[in-house]
Amino acid sequence: MQKRKLGNSNLEVSALGLGCMGMTSGYGSAADKQEMIALIRKAVELGVTFFDTAEAYGPYINEQLVGEALAPLKSRVVIATKFGFDIDLNTGERRNAVNSRPEHVKMVAEASLKRLGVDAIDLFYQHRVDPSVPIEDVAGAVKELIQEGKVKHFGLSEAGAQTIRRAHTVQPVTAVQSEYSLWWRGPESELLPTLEELGIGFVCFSPLGAGFLTGTIDQNTRFDKSDFRTMVPRFSPEAMKSNIALVDLVRDVAIRKGTTPAQIALAWLLVQKPWIVPIPGTTKLHRLEENLGAVKVQLTINDLEEINTAASRITLKGARLPESALKMTGL
């Protein structure tokens, strides 16, 4: 597996990471725990060194799963987790609010360390910006955790350019995480130039458009009632009927290159910048192997021009997130 450094930091990770959220939440019922432990360990065997989790996934059970799965492999991997939602640390009740007060951030760090079974959190993201807490205070809290040896690197998720700049002056930001793919190219206008200027790495979640770019979903697909895509405007049957044109484009390129749509979508991301690291999630071994095969796909300049030109003619319908969730992002 190829390696990449996240920006100007010394944090080196596999070119493709593994997003673990869907193993316990988000896409319907939780998968079998032992099967997911086996999958995570197989990912390490295949060269993945970067794993993404969060206290909010579950809450808590995803961190516990990742911690147990990687317990014998801790020296070989980088684990990223997140703070920032208002979750009762005793009951696990998740309220519909954010909480990045410095004292809460530090309590979350202590709890995450225990669940993950590590001495230090490799990459600690603010999951969502808290408008009631100055980002300088949040960065200061993480800086103290770094000085105490409990955290190694600071990250931000779904933050806007100015928030990133302000945080970076207090504690250097190693990585910013946000959605990015052919399905959602919002970061290209302001976020990516800002990260390049500051020397910050970019971690892409939903690099396959929450499954849409794999070509396995269309307007006839029906999701489990607990699947977050039931609330996403872009996944309404009407929107998908229109948006399938993007999948057709990716599929055509894949057929010509002898690969799969998922591999083309991931390969396209990998060639955008050398400091971009996608973290596709899956609960299936064959999908894991398929995704990792994207690092071997070579897209030529002509391929990229064809994809970008054709994609520019497609008008995608529907927002990428529900309105309530969009209000919590800085993009």
The CA angle 166-172-177, to the nearest 5 degrees, is: 80
Measured between alpha carbons, how far is residue 50 from residues 23, 151, 313, 328 in Å?
16, 16, 35, 26
**What distance lies between CA 265 and its chain's CA centroid?**
15
Rounded to an integer, what distance in angstroms lies between the CA atom of residue 277 and that of residue 280?
A: 10
Pairing of strands 173-179, 151-157: parallel
Does residue 291 contact residue 263 with C-beta atoms inside 8 Å? yes
User: Per this entry, what is the length of the chain?
Assistant: 331
Q: Which residues are catalytic?
A: 57
The set of residues, in sequence order, having a beta carbon less than 8 Å from that of 38 and lying 6+ positions away, is none
Nearest to 281 by CA among 40, 110, 101, 56: 40
